[in-house]
Structure 1
Amino acid sequence: MEIKDNAFSRQYEATTTQGLVSVEYSFQEKKLFLTKINTPEGFDNEDFLNEFLKSILENAIEKKWKVVPILPRIVAFFKKNPIYKELLPPGIRL
């Protein structure tokens, strides 16, 4: 999956057949705060979203960033994929 980091809009983007899917973020002190998921109307492809989130987290691993999930949907992803819990900053528990 090809993702684009649109730094100007502060979001990661991926294109699907239904349109643009994005995950908004903010960045502070080597921490990536994932704040919102935007999908086209009627989009319900959970597998695509899971792969999209995995790609974002792999990017964070490469850059040695910690990740703070703000959105409950992203918190649920971390709970289902404990392999990524190492990305959480100290003191954050899900």
Structure 2
Amino acid sequence: MEIKDNTFARQFETEVKEGLVSVEYSFQEKKIFLTKINTPESFDDEEFISNFLKNIMEIAIERKLKVVPILPKIVVFFKKNPVYKELLPPGIRL
């Protein structure tokens, strides 16, 4: 999966045959806040979204960032993938 960090639009992007899938973010200090997932209307591949989020977590690890999940769908991702809970800032409980 090829992920582009579109810093101008503040989102991670990847292409699927239906169009563009993106996860919007904002930065504050050494934290990245994941705020929204955008998908084409006809796209509902939850496994793809999960893999996309896993790739974003790897980017956060490389950049030494803490991840703050704002969107409930991303909170669910963290609950299903406890290996990434170390990316949560201190004080964040899911």
SS across alignment from 1:44: coil
Q: Matches of residues 75-86 of structure 1 in structure 2 within 5 Å? A: 75-86=75-86
TM-score (norm 2): 0.99
1:19-56 C-alpha deviation (Å, 9 max, x unpaired): 10000000010100000000000211011101100000
TM-score for the superposition, normalised by structure 1: 0.99
Q: CA RMSD in A?
A: 0.4
Alignment-derived partner of residue 70 in structure 1: 70
**1:92 aligned residue:** 92
Tell me the number of residue pairs that the alignment of Structure 1 and Structure 2 aligns. 94
**Which structure 1 residue ranges, 5 or more long, are not aligned?**
none
Gaps of 5+ in 2: none
Aligned to 1:24: 24
Helix, strand or coil for the counterpart of 1:23? strand
Q: Equivalent residues in 2 for 1:5-44 (5 A)? A: 5-44=5-44
1:65 is displaced (CA, Å) by: 0.3
4+ residue stretches of structure 1 with deviation over 6 A?
Answer: none
